[in-house]
Chain A
Amino acid sequence: MLGRTLREVSAALKQGQVTPTELCQRCLSLIKKTKFLNAYITVSEEVALKQAAESEKRYKKGHSLGDLDGIPVAVKDNFSTAGIETTCASNMLKGYVPPYNATVVQKLLDQGALLMGKTNLDEFAMGSGSTDGIFGPVKNPWSYSKQYREKRKQKSHGENEDSNWLITGGSSGGSAAAVSAFTCFAALGSDTGGSTRNPAAHCGVVGLKPSYGLVSRHGLIPLVNSMDVPGILTRCVDDAAIVLGILAGHDPKDSTTIQDPVKPFALPTLTDVSKLCIGIPKEYLTPELSSEVQSLWSKAANLFESEGAKVIEVSLPHTSYSIVCYHVLCTSEVASNMARFDGLEYGHRCDIDVSTEAMYAATRREGFNDVVRGRILSGNFFLLKENYENYFVKAQKVRRLIARDFVNVFNSGVDVLLTPTTLSEAIPHTEFIREDNRTRSAQDDLFTQAVNMAGLPAVSVPMALSSQGLPVGLQFIGRAFCDQQLLTVAKWFEKRVQFPVIQLQELMDDCSSIFENEKLASVSLK
C-alpha cells in the first residue's frame, strides 16, 4: 500500500481497502524505521493520528473531502505550521512554534491531508545537499536500495558501506527522501534555485516547481522572495498535478499570486507528440555534465523525436551569467529577509544584555550558521549605496536578459525545454563535503537556477538508473503559467521511460509485515 501513488492510495481509501488511520500508522511506523535517514525534523504523530481519525469519520459517512482526504503528506520545515515547531533547520528558530499555517499547508489540511511531520533541509534552505542544517544531513534512501548495493558489491573495494551513504541533494532533501522512502505520498518543498528539483532528481521522485505567482508563498519562510516557489514532490507526475490543482490560485495574503481563478485539473494522457516542439538548450551542454547524464539526455531527446515530436537545438545565451547574477540577488534578499531575526519577537535570544546592539550581534552569531552569515554579509555589501548600482541593479538587468532568453525561445515555437536536472547522480556525503556550500550551490544549481530567475514552471522527472544504480532525473521547463501543458508532456515521458521503483526490502526487513501481500510497485511505478 505504501508503495502506491497518491492517486492509487486515494482510490484505495475511497473503496475502503484501507482506512486513513491504518495508512497513517503504517507511515508513522516506517518513519520510525527510517529515522536514520534524518528526513524528518519533527514527526507530528499525534496531529496526524487525530487528522486520520477525523478523515476516517468522513469516509464512514461517505463524504470525503477529495483526493487528498486521509493521505499522509510531509512539509518542509520552512513552511509555517500552526502549533508545530518550524525551525528552518536553524538554531535561530529552534523551538519556534508558529501561530499560523502557511496557505499551502492550510490548503492541504482543508483537503483532509494528514500532516506526518516537518522535513529536514539546509539551514534556511541555503544549500544544495541538505547537509547544512543543525539537525545534520539527510541520507539518500537510494544509498540503501538493492539496486545501488548490488552495483557496489560488484566493484566492492571493501569500503565501509555505512559511511558511504549518498546525499539527497537539496535543499528540500528531507521532503525528497520522505517521498522516496514511502513515508508519505507527497511532500512540500521550496524551490528558489532548484531546491525541489535537485533532490527530486537525486532521490528518484518527481519534483515540480510551479510558475512564480501560481502558488501562494504566504507562510513560506523566505530565501529569495522574488524567486521562491513552494515545490511539490511526489512519486509520479499525476500526483504532482493533483497537489498543484489544490495549491494553485490567488491568495489575498500573497500579493504576488495571480488573480485569475485556477481550477483543479486532471492531466490528459497524451498519445500523440507530433505537434510538440521540444527545445534543447545548447548552453546546458557543459563540460561539468557527466557523460552518463548527457547520454540519457540525448536518449530522451531521441525518444521524443522518434515519436514524431520536433526536437530542436535552441540557445539561451545568458545562461552562463545566471549563477553569478543569482549570487548577488539571492544574498541581497537574504540580507534583508534575515534582518528580522533579532531575538526580540521570537526565536533564539542570547544571554547578553549589555545593550540592544550587543544582544542583536550575539543572537545572530549564535543563531545562524556560517553559510547564512556569509550570505548576509555579501548581501549587505551589494546593497551598500556605493555598490547598489554596480551589483544589484546590474544583476537585475542580467536577470531580465535571462528571462528574455526564455521568452524568445518560447516565442520561436518551442513548447517545452528538455534539460538535465543535475550534473550527475547523487554523490556520497564524504565526497560532497570536500567543497564548501557556496561552490556546491553554484555547481548544482546550474541547470535549475535560471528557471527561477524567469519565474517559469519546471519539473524534474526520474528517467533511469545510472550505471551505479542511482536515479537520474531530467528537467522539463514550460512557458509561464503553462504548468498543465508542462506536466502533460512530463507525464507522457514518465510513461515511456518506466523508471524503476526503489527497492528497499533489505532496509525494511523488519517491516516485512507492512509489505506483506503487497506489490511494492504500483502499475505506473514498476
Chain B
Amino acid sequence: MATPVLRWCCLGRRCVFAGIGGGSRRGRGVPTGSTSSEKRGQSSVAQQPLITAQKPRKGEREWAAVVGLEIHAQIASNSKLFSGSQVDFAAPPNSLVSFFDASLPGTLPVLNRRCVEAAVMTGLALDCHINRRSLFDRKHYFYADLPAGYQITQQRLPIAVNGRLAYSICVGKRRSQMVTRTAGVKQIQLEQDSGKSLHDSLRSQTLIDLNRAGVGLLEVVLEPDMSCGEEAAAAVRELQLILQALGTSQANMAEGQLRVDANISVHHPGEPLGIRTEVKNLNSARFLAKAIDCEIQRQISELENGGKILNETRSFDYKLGCTVPMRDKEGKQDYRFMPEPNLPPLLLYDSRSLPIGTDPQQVIDIDRIRERLPELPRVTREKLVQQYGMLPEHSFALLNEVGLLEFFQNVIKETRAEPKKVTSWVLNTLLGFLKQQNLAVSESPVTPSALAELLDLLDRKAISSSAAKQVFEELWRSKGKTPAQMVAEKKLELMQDAEALEQLCRSTLEAHPQVVTDVKKGNPRAINKLIGLVRRATLGRADPTAIKEVLERQLSS
C-alpha cells in the first residue's frame, strides 16, 4: 500500500487487534456515530478491537474505528416485489415494466409471496427474531428513477430483527489463524429497488431504465460491530455465502445484486463516538475493504489536522483511491415516512398460531420455512473440519469459490488418497491453475475423476509427487487423456527397481566425496543435497523417502 500510514492501520498483514481481552470492550449496539439518537439493543459478545499498528509516539493517542453496514441484496425471484413483472438482469431497457412499476395512477402494490419467504428464510439463517406482524412504509424522495416519488420499505416494523452474523478473519503473524467474530443484525427489511438513471452528458440528458424498478430487495442492517475494512469485507462475504446457500439472492456484486453502504466513524478509545459518514455504493468486493479503510484513514487525518468530520454521504472513487462527498445528496433529506396505506400489515404464522382451515397459499408458516432451511456455510465448514481433519482456513477456502466444494467432494468420493492430500491438491494446484487463467471451477479442464485417478496413482506410490504435478499440467493442457495414459506416455512411473536405485545411489556417493564428508561431519543439510542429486539422476521418478533410506544405509555401512 502506498498510502501514507499514520498510526492507524488495518491493511493487509499489518492489521493488529489489540482489544481482544482488553479493557476496552464495548457492547454491540453502539451506533457508528454520534448523530444517531436511536438507542440500540443489549450488549453482546462482539469486541471492539483497537487499531494500534504501531505504538503511538509520546503524546499521541490511539484511534478506534467503528463500522456498520447496510447491505442491499436483490431477492432471487421470478417477479418483482409488488408487481408481476419479470426480473432479469440482462433484459433490454424498459422491457420489464408493469403499470405499477411505472407508477401509473390507480395501480396498487400486491406483495410477492416468494419475496416474503426469502426474507423469512434469510432472517432465520441469521438467527433473527421474525416479527409475526410487520408493516410497510413509504419513503419519499424525488428521483428520476423512482417513478412513484417514494419507495415502499419497512421502516417502522421490519420483518426480522435482532440477529447475528458470525464471520471469520485471519489473524496472527502469518495470518494463518482464523478467528470468528460476530456482527449483530439489527434488522432485515423488505423494500423496492429503484430504476436506473443513465446520464448522457454529451447530450445533457438522463435516460431512465425501469427494469429494476420494484425488484425486491432485502436490506440487511449490520450493527456497528466492525472496526476495519477487512472485518467488513469478511462479514459481507459471509452474508453473500449464506444468501447463496439459501438461494434467497444470487448476491453477485458485479451484477449489482449485492450493494453495500458503510457507516464509519473514528474516536479515541474511552471517548464518545465520532461523527459518522456514510460511504455509499460499495459495489465491488475488491474495493469494499479498501474504501472503508481509506475513509477511516481520511477521518483520522482530518481530525489530527484539526479538521472536523461532517455527517455526510460519500462515495468511493476507485480511480483516485479515496472517498469523495456525493454531490447529488447534498443537503438534509427528510424522507417524510408514512405508512403505506395500500398494504395491510404483513402477518406471519407458525405451526401453533396458524389459524385452522386457512388456505396454505394465503398464509406463510415460519416453521415450514425453517424445516426447509438448507445447510449453512458455517455448518458445512465445521463438517469439513470434523470429517476430514481439515484446517479451518482450508474449509473457508473451499467454500469461497463457487463449485469448489462440490469438486472437492467428488474427488474425495472417487479416490483412496488422504483427504489432506486432496485438500492440498484442490486448494493449491487446482485453484492455482484456475486463478492463473481466470477460470471458474466449472470451467476446469481437469475433471474431479481425473484428479481422483491421479491422486490414486500418487497414493499407490506409482508416481512421485513431482511426476504427479507434471501429469496434472499435461491433463490441464490436453483434455481427454486419463492420468494413467499420461503416465505411461511420459514414462513417469516411479522407479520400482530396488537394485537400480542402489546402483544409482552408490555412484552418486562416489561422484561427490565432498558432500559425503559433510554428512559425516554432521551437516544435516548435506543429505538433502545427495537426495536431490539422486532424484535428478532418476528423472524424478524415485520416491525421495526411499532414496533417503538407501543413502543412509550406504553411508553408514
Distance to closest chain A CB from B101 (angstroms): 10
- Chain A residue contacts of B109, Cβ below 8 A: 255
Which among A93, A253, A338, A341 has the highest number of chain B CB atoms within 10 Å? A253
Task: Verify if B105 is at the interface (C-beta below 8 Å from A).
Answer: yes
Distance to closest chain A CB from B204 (angstroms): 9
Task: Verify if A79 is at the interface (C-beta below 8 Å from B).
Answer: yes
Task: Verify if A252 is at the interface (C-beta below 8 Å from B).
Answer: yes
Interface of A is mostly: loop
Give bound CA distance, A270 to B149, whole Å. 50
Q: Are B362 and A384 in contact (CB under 8 A)?
A: no
Give bound CA distance, A360 to B205, whole Å. 14
Q: Are B106 and A221 in contact (CB under 8 A)?
A: yes
Q: Which listed residue, A93, A222, A340, A384, touches B336 by the CB 8 Å rule?
A: A384
Give bound CA distance, A280 to B22, whole Å. 74
Q: Are A339 and B106 in contact (CB under 8 A)?
A: no
- Chain B residue contacts of A255, Cβ below 8 A: 108-111, 342-344
Choose, from B137-145, B276-284, B292-300, the stretch at the interface. Answer: B137-145
- Assuming the contacts A333-B341, A360-B142, asked whether A98 and B106 have C-beta atoms less than 8 A apart, the reply is yes
Task: Verify if B400 is at the interface (C-beta below 8 Å from A).
Answer: no
Give bound CA distance, A493 to B345, whole Å. 39
Per-position contact with B for A210-240: 1 when CB-CB < 8 Å, else 0? 0000000111111011100000000000000
Distance to closest chain A CB from B37 (angstroms): 11
Q: Which listed residue, B140, B206, B208, B342, touches A339 by the CB 8 Å rule?
A: B140
Give bound CA distance, A80 to B107, whole Å. 9
Q: Are A218 and B144 in contact (CB under 8 A)?
A: no
Q: Which listed residue, B144, B148, B205, B206, touches A340 by the CB 8 Å rule?
A: B148
Choose, from A177-185, A291-299, A342-350, the stretch at the interface. Answer: A342-350
Per-position contact with A for B344-368: 1 when CB-CB < 8 Å, else 0? 1000000000000000001000000
Which among B109, B110, B111 has the highest number of chain A CB atoms within 10 Å? B110
Q: Are A336 and B104 in contact (CB under 8 A)?
A: no
Task: Verify if B60 is at the interface (C-beta below 8 Å from A).
Answer: no
Task: Verify if A356 is at the interface (C-beta below 8 Å from B).
Answer: yes
Per-position contact with A for B138-166: 1 when CB-CB < 8 Å, else 0? 10101010011110000000000000000
- Chain B residue contacts of A338, Cβ below 8 A: 149
Give bound CA distance, A341 to B104, whole Å. 9
Q: Are B142 and A339 in contact (CB under 8 A)?
A: yes
Task: Verify if B6 is at the interface (C-beta below 8 Å from A).
Answer: no
Interface bracket on B: 20 to 34
Task: Verify if A501 is at the interface (C-beta below 8 Å from B).
Answer: no
- Chain A residue contacts of B342, Cβ below 8 A: 225, 254-256
Give bound CA distance, A380 to B141, whole Å. 11
Q: Are B108 and A217 in contact (CB under 8 A)?
A: yes
Interface of B is mostly: loop
Q: Are A252 and B106 in contact (CB under 8 A)?
A: no
Q: Which listed residue, A102, A256, A385, A392, touches B106 by the CB 8 Å rule?
A: A102
Which among A98, A225, A333, A339 has the highest number of chain B CB atoms within 10 Å? A339
Task: Verify if B338 is at the interface (C-beta below 8 Å from A).
Answer: yes
Give bound CA distance, A222 to B205, whole Å. 31
Q: Are A392 and B108 in contact (CB under 8 A)?
A: no
Task: Verify if A100 is at the interface (C-beta below 8 Å from B).
Answer: yes
Q: Are B334 and A385 in contact (CB under 8 A)?
A: yes
Give bound CA distance, A338 to B344, whole Å. 21
Per-position contact with B for A359-388: 1 when CB-CB < 8 Å, else 0? 010000000000000000000100111001
- Chain B residue contacts of A79, Cβ below 8 A: 106
- Chain A residue contacts of B102, Cβ below 8 A: 345-346
Distance to closest chain A CB from B393 (angstroms): 47
Q: Which 9 A-B pairs have the closest CB atoms?
A: A339-B149, A383-B336, A225-B341, A226-B341, A221-B105, A340-B103, A219-B106, A80-B106, A340-B148
22 A-B pairs (CB sep. < 8 Å): A86-B105, A100-B99, A219-B107, A222-B106, A225-B341, A226-B341, A253-B110, A255-B108, A255-B344, A256-B344, A333-B341, A336-B336, A338-B149, A339-B150, A340-B103, A342-B142, A344-B144, A346-B102, A360-B142, A380-B336, A383-B140, A385-B337
Binding site for A on B (CB under 8 A): 99, 102-111, 138, 140, 142, 144, 147-150, 205-206, 208, 334, 336-338, 341-344, 362
Binding site for B on A (CB under 8 A): 79-80, 86, 88, 93, 96, 98-100, 102, 217-222, 224-226, 252-256, 259, 332-333, 335-336, 338-342, 344-346, 353, 356-357, 360, 380, 383-385, 388, 392
